[in-house]
Amino acid sequence: MSVTGVWIVGALPDEALRDLPRAAVQGLSSAPLSMPEDVSGELAWWESRAKESMFRKSATSPGSWRAEEDAFRLHAFLDACRDDSEEMEALRDAVMDRFPPHGEEGLFAAVARKACPFSALAYALGPDAVRRLPGWVGDFLLDAEQVRARLPAVAATLDLTGARRRDAVERIHAWMTGLGDDPHHDADELLDGPLRVLRHAAHTGQAVAAQVRWY
């Protein structure tokens, strides 16, 4: 059975955060203050390779890309950074129950066959830009005050135009075809959707959570 990667960003009532485990909530609010040596080493490697392509155009499938060794390494690094403990999965389930219904303005969900949408975005943006996003490798939980405080940095990171946007879209497509099986993934929506949710939450005084899931 195929594995499907999902990245969900949703608004939820600010008061709902009071019912969630405080330690877990705090852990999702920001990146780790210190990282294990193997994580920091891989991060340094990614920084050294961030401007170079990790894919080459497919010779047999026009419009698609083939992953090179560095792409598999980055995929493994981003996947290994995620906390898949029972406690964190329980928190994700609890948060998911508070999200608005599919199709509402306060919810964004990116789904990709055999690929993680957030990892594709991370490859497209690079490590410096990913650091400006809340939380850690696609997971975060911000109360209403934090949403308003972080919104300018998120907007500066995701609201791309011109050549920067074209390059990001191409990189997302490379990830989705070279590592995943989703040649028609909406790369523009992957850039625009999360920012739209944060702006909606800032306007309505809500919290925002994001989470990476695999099904």
Burial of 83 (0-12, 13-18, 19+ CB in 10 A): middle
Long-range contacts from 32-40, C-beta under 8 angstroms, 24+ separation: 32/136, 39/77, 39/80, 39/81
Task: Return the half-sphere exposure (C-beta side, CA atoms, 13 A cut-off) of residue 154.
Answer: 23
Q: Is the pLDDT of residue 33 over 50?
A: no
Work out the angle at residue 96's Cα, subtended by the Cα atoms of residues 122 and 9, and round it to the nearest 5 degrees.
30
**Tens-digit pLDDT profile for residues 138-189:** 999 999 999 999 999 999 999 999 999 999 999 999 999 999 999 999 999 9
Q: Is the pLDDT of residue 24 over 60?
A: no
Whether 9 contacts 208, CB under 8 Å:
yes
Distances (CA, A) of 27 to 24, 83, 163, 170: 5, 10, 35, 33
CA-based R_g, the chain, Å: 17
In the numeric block, the tokens 């497919």 are attached to 58
| Largest interatomic CA distance in the chain | 54
**Confidence class for position 30, pLDDT limits 50, 70, 90:** low
Q: Quick one: angle between helices 22-29 and 86-96, nearest 10? A: 90
- State the pLDDT at residue 39: 75
CA dist 172 and 175 (Å) reads 5
Question: For the residues of 29-90, what is the DSSP string, one character each?
Answer: HS--SS--HHHHHHHHHHHHHTTS-SEEE-SSSTT-EEE-HHHHHHHHHHHHTS---HHHHH
**Tens-digit pLDDT profile for residues 79-92:** 988 888 888 888 88
